[in-house]
Homo-oligomer: A and B are copies of this chain.
């Protein structure tokens, strides 16, 4: 099962100006493909910090997906940081330059051409329906942070990462409090070791706790769900 780490680059997130949303998108996409998103780091727009994080994450995971810091302005330093992480130069990609010239035509400005500069040896990854390529350096995908563009380009990334046995997830919603079900859950968890069981209390819903059962074996998941349903008070199970 491939492992992935995400590196979110953005002072705007660390100062609370922007609510980060790309992680949830990426997480859902990978989960559905049986790919394990193991870790997310949010770091500052600082070349040295980003380069260190890229190196740490790429050595410990099969793939790294970065989000943010891509564009023509001074605070877009991700590609420079990735180049530094790999000890490579930044070079102009003729392929990207031609693409940009085709796209903007007469409106061409210096800022546009800045976006054709990538780490030496970078690959440009596309897939059907995705017009702008994602920059891939070894096992590091460099994605834009703008959610609309991140979403559009995500299929190119997930296609390249591939898929494993898809994860399956079932859920039980209950009116029980966590304190009430904790001892019951302990037993189920001990008896169903191939199933990842999560317990999530909520507020302001028509249930109190959402219990999730994840794994790659649907029958094992069904058995764990049935085992818990058998011991939960029927009137406290919320049908959804």
Contacts and interface: CB of A to CB of B under 8 A. Distances in A.
B201 A71 contact: yes
Nearest to A30: B16
Q: Which of A24, A74, A177 has the most CB of B within 10 A?
A: A74
A38 B10 CA distance: 10
Contacts of A185: 73-74
A146 interface: yes
A32 to B, nearest CB: 8
B179 A109 contact: yes
A14 B27 contact: yes
Given A74-B185, A111-B180, A13 B19 contact: no
A199 B40 contact: no
A191 interface: no
A43 to B, nearest CB: 6
A12 B198 contact: yes
Contacts of A199: 71, 73-76
Interface in A3-36: 8, 11-21, 23-31
Interface in A107-156: 109-112, 114-115, 146-149
Q: Is the interface of A mostly helix, strand, loop or mixed?
A: mixed
A207 to B, nearest CB: 14
B15 A37 contact: yes
Contacts of A177: 111
Interface in A47-105: 71-76
A50 to B, nearest CB: 12
A31 B44 contact: no
A115 B177 CA distance: 13
Contact of A198 (B11, B41, B146): B11
A234 interface: no
Nearest to A39: B43
A55 to B, nearest CB: 15
A178 B212 contact: no
Interface of A: 8, 11-21, 23-31, 37-45, 71-76, 109-112, 114-115, 146-149, 167, 169, 177-183, 185-186, 189, 196-204, 212, 214
4 tightest A-B contacts by CB? A111-B179, A16-B27, A16-B28, A40-B42
